[in-house]
Structure 1
Amino acid sequence: MGSAYYPILVAVFTGLVLISNITATKGVAFGPLLTDGGFLVFPVTYVIGDVLSEVYGFKAARRAIYVGFVMQALAVTAFWVTVRLPSAPGYENQEALATMVSSFTQLAVAGLAGFLVGQTVNAYMVVRIKQRTKESHLWARLLGSTVVGQFADTLVFCAIAAPVIGFGNVPAFATYAAIGWLYKTAVEAAMLPITYRVIGAIKRREPSYVPMT
């Protein structure tokens, strides 16, 4: 890419995806509101995805999505190999590790599916809206892509993950999916001022960026 910013964004993007999939193994309840531990950092991946799509375009954003996908798959493989390695004398956490890896694997499958669908839709929407609005109405690109992308991601992820973390019945699933979608969308809306500044700063400093006219 010839950019000092693109590799950093991809690295942070991938790290946040991995962290969110591990923290998502715990179901979390705030009274009647059901979610998982991934709510802490996962919405930020969409903010970074928007930055990548807006500044570098769909192909570059898709490349970052593929990197995240491959690293998640590698994490699952590494965990399963580790579980099956012979335990050292005195190691007493084999059963707990196996249980955690089993949960993580199922959630990783959900995450991989939701991630590919949601992030791809999100990146596509940013680019398509930009083709119509050019450099203006950035807020419309960011929010419009998030609403659609997060809906696709949340629906796919929750359909697979809900039974794993204990939200298997229909009311619990509906609450889990709805809260996840609304929360993630709200986080990105709240972060719009920061996203604007980050995108503006990178556009000014990125030699490869050509404004769309």
Structure 2
Amino acid sequence: MLLYLNGLFVGLLILANIVAVKLFSIGHLAVLPAAVVIYIFTYPIVDVIVEVYGKETGRKTVQAGLITQVLALIFIFITIQLPAAPVFGHQSEFKTILGGSFRVIVASLASYAVSQNLDVFVFNKLKKKHGTKKLWLRNNASTMLSQLVDTTIFIAIAFMGTMPLAVLVTLIFTQYVFKFLASIVATPIVYLLVSVTRKQESKNNAQGSSAVS
């Protein structure tokens, strides 16, 4: 089950990076990158991994995600630089969609590394305190704090100096409200994934014991 969770986590990360260039609006309230719709689900997955498999496994998952993102960026850069065939008339569009600015890329990697590791740390601390109880509390507390850090770091690095401070604060606030509400909505998903994962691990352990005996 861990293999599937890791695959889902990394897959969502890469997909979020690909669609990040698209902006969408919620009425007149906020303009958000499409990546947030995908990226917000990476935190519950890490929380499930830490809940079932422990802090060290969660940390390795985050590390694997960072390495994969760096590799993806390298290969995307290489494909952009490849000479376009005469029949391919969309080189500029290809570069626009996949070739994000260096500053935004740095902001994305920095915010990811700090916030995801913070999520693992806070979740594990609360788990040590409460045991298997209050999963909803450590899931939401760790995710909400980490999302705030993620949003603040990303917007600060990506846009500081390009717009007034008041606008930056508004961007952080509106994006965080969306992520805050999404974290609450995703809580039942965390309970479901933890339940399914524990049952699968129990089944695997039982089969392993039977095989040994």
| TM-score interval (norm. to shorter) | 0.7 to 0.9
1:34–1:172 contact (8 Å) kept in structure 2 = no
Deviation at 1:108, TM superposition (A): 3.2
1:171-197 deviations in Å (ceiling 9; x for gaps): 332222112222112112112122112
Alignment of 1:102-113 (within 5 A): 102-103=99-100, 106-113=103-110
Secondary structure of 1:103's counterpart equals coil
- Overall identity of the aligned pairs, in %: 27
In 2, Cα distance between the equivalents of 1:95 and 1:204? 49
Secondary structure of 1:206's counterpart equals helix
1:21–1:104 contact (8 Å) kept in structure 2 = no
In 1, Cα distance between the equivalents of 2:86 and 2:30? 43
Q: Does 1:19 align with 2:15?
A: yes
Secondary structure of 1:135's counterpart equals coil
Q: Does 1:186 align with 2:181?
A: yes
The Cα RMSD (Å) is: 2.1
- Which amino acid counterpart does residue 174 of structure 2 have in structure 1? I
In 1, Cα distance between the equivalents of 2:12 and 2:123? 21
In 1, Cα distance between the equivalents of 2:146 and 2:62? 13
Aligned to 2:153: 156
Q: 2:114 aligns with which of 117, 137, 148?
A: 117
1:3-45 deviations in Å (ceiling 9; x for gaps): xx10100110011111112222123333131211112211111
User: Tell me, which stretches of 5 or more residues in structure 1 are unaligned?
Assistant: none
Alignment of 1:156-175 (within 5 A): 156-162=153-159, 168-175=163-170
Give the number of the structure whose alpha-carbon radius of gyration is greater: 2
Deviation at 1:101, TM superposition (A): 3.4
Alignment of 1:120-135 (within 5 A): 120-135=117-132
Q: 2:35 aligns with which of 31, 34, 38?
A: 38
Deviation at 1:97, TM superposition (A): 2.3
1:81-113 deviations in Å (ceiling 9; x for gaps): 112112212322222223333326543322211
Q: Which runs of 4+ in 1 moved over 3 A?
A: 104-108
Q: 2:91 aligns with which of 91, 94, 113?
A: 94
Deviation at 1:55, TM superposition (A): 1.0
Q: Which of 174-183 and 64-73 deviates more?
A: 174-183
Alignment of 1:45-56 (within 5 A): 45-56=42-53
Matched pairs, number: 202
Q: Does 1:71 align with 2:57?
A: no
Q: Which of 110-119 and 24-33 deviates more?
A: 24-33
Deviation at 1:204, TM superposition (A): 3.0
- Which amino acid counterpart does residue 139 of structure 1 have in structure 2? W
After TM superposition, the score normalised by the length of structure 1 is 0.86
In 2, Cα distance between the equivalents of 1:162 and 1:26? 17
Q: Which of 98-107 and 126-135 deviates more?
A: 98-107
After TM superposition, the score normalised by the length of structure 2 is 0.86
Deviation at 1:132, TM superposition (A): 0.8
Q: 2:193 aligns with which of 177, 181, 198?
A: 198
- Which amino acid counterpart does residue 40 of structure 2 have in structure 1? P
